[in-house]
Amino acid sequence: MQNSFSHERYQRQLILKKFGIKAQQKLADASVLVVGAGGLGCPLLSYLAAAGLGRIGIIDDDIIAIHNLHRQPLYATVDIGNKKAIVAKEKLKALNPEIIIDGFDLRLDESNCLDLFRSYDYVADCTDNFATRYMINDACVILDKPLIYAAVSQFEGQISIFNFPDTKSGTKTNYRDLFPQPPNDGEILNCEEAGVLGVLPGIVGTMMASETIKLITGTGKTLASKLFTFNILNNQSLELQLTARPETRKLIPADETIFRNTSYEILCNRNGFDLASEEFAKLISGKNTTVIDVRELHELPILEDINHIRIPMSILSDHLGGLVSERIVFVCQSGIRSRKAAGLLSAIKNPDQQVYSLAGGVENWLIKKQILHHV
């Protein structure tokens, strides 16, 4: 069924020869999920709503803070402390009551991602961290969903459209064709750490809106399989043709079950829990460090000559509340489960508590211990 729209509201774009009533109808019938209602999300959401996009989803679990306002003009000073997804929904509803707006006050994760994406035609990545960016990319590849992507850094922005055939070659590319693996933790600073001029995400987010509208209506040339970069300091722009890498698909979870069991937080080591063996040796020789082995009780070798307690991963969540030492180091066989454990405790820990994961696990520690003892 075709959604109806007010001709008066969209009159200025309806009279465009390259747009018109057909394009407007395509917008009215389309749905877009915008992940992140921050610097990029605000302009994208505003222009999509204003243009008459039929159904817009907003997902964000963040709260409006005063330092958001310089680049997130959907929000006013009186909105500080309120939920972005809820306030954005209200503002967009006031802007255009003729369209459907869904507000999701929650964090996108591996368990809700696929079902949410499935109920929209397009997804837009307006997030601010690599863990979520790789998760969104992989989910879109698995579901074969077109993805409008953008990211900013200080004075520069990048925009592309992934999973949509390039008009010339017909090939589809995705974020992992550009950057196959997430960068090392701390390698790339986000806006919080590096700063951003407020107008930059405004320009880039508005370009995302323009690309989304072109993509949906088939108007003009889009950035499918192209990476557009813009620098607001010198007004230079650059458009690169992307190339599909043969190995990319192998890096993405093969199916939905594997996707749901992937931890993108751990993959991107976003929280930086990893502790090198040398640092671990120092910590355990001092006081106030509790070492917790999260391997199951049958797993070998036993961690000898280190005071530790064993709380297997299978029952860890029941015991997290009791872990109150000043410094806690989780260990496991190879450092993967212990990182997950550190992530779990980190979510509920008190602010003064330090939480680590022994990098490389017991296996690596036993090798390093020999070397350290001989130094």
Partner 1 sequence: MEIQVFGHLAEIMGSDIITIDPVPDTETLKEVIGNQYPALNNIEFVIAVNKNQVIENTSIDNSSTIVLMPPFSGG
Residues binding partner 1 (CB under 8 A):
36, 38-41, 125-130, 133, 150-154, 156-158, 177-179, 181, 183-184, 187-191, 194, 196, 201, 227, 229, 231, 238-243, 245
Which residues lie below 8 Å from residue 251, measured CB to CB, with a gap of 6+?
A: 176, 180, 181
Residue the block writes with tokens 């809106």: 209
| 23, burial (CB in 10 Å: exposed 0-12, middle 13-18, buried 19+) | buried
Q: Which is nearer to partner 1, 128 or 138 (CB)?
A: 128
Rounded least distance, CB 169 to partner 1, Å: 12
Rounded least distance, CB 240 to partner 1, Å: 5
Rounded least distance, CB 144 to partner 1, Å: 22
The torsion angles phi and psi of 27, rounded to 5 degrees, stand at -65, -45
Rounded least distance, CB 368 to partner 1, Å: 21
Q: Which is nearer to partner 1, 189 or 254 (CB)?
A: 189
Rounded least distance, CB 227 to partner 1, Å: 7
DSSP per-residue string spanning 55-80: EEEEE---B--GGGTTT-TT--GGGT
Q: Which is nearer to partner 1, 123 or 332 (CB)?
A: 123
Q: Residues 325, 352: contact at Cβ < 8 Å?
A: no
Q: Which helix H or strand E contains 278, and what residues bound it?
A: helix 277-285
Q: What sign has the CA pseudo-torsion 16, 22, 28, 30?
A: negative
Q: Which is nearer to partner 1, 291 or 359 (CB)?
A: 359
Q: Which is nearer to partner 1, 270 or 308 (CB)?
A: 270
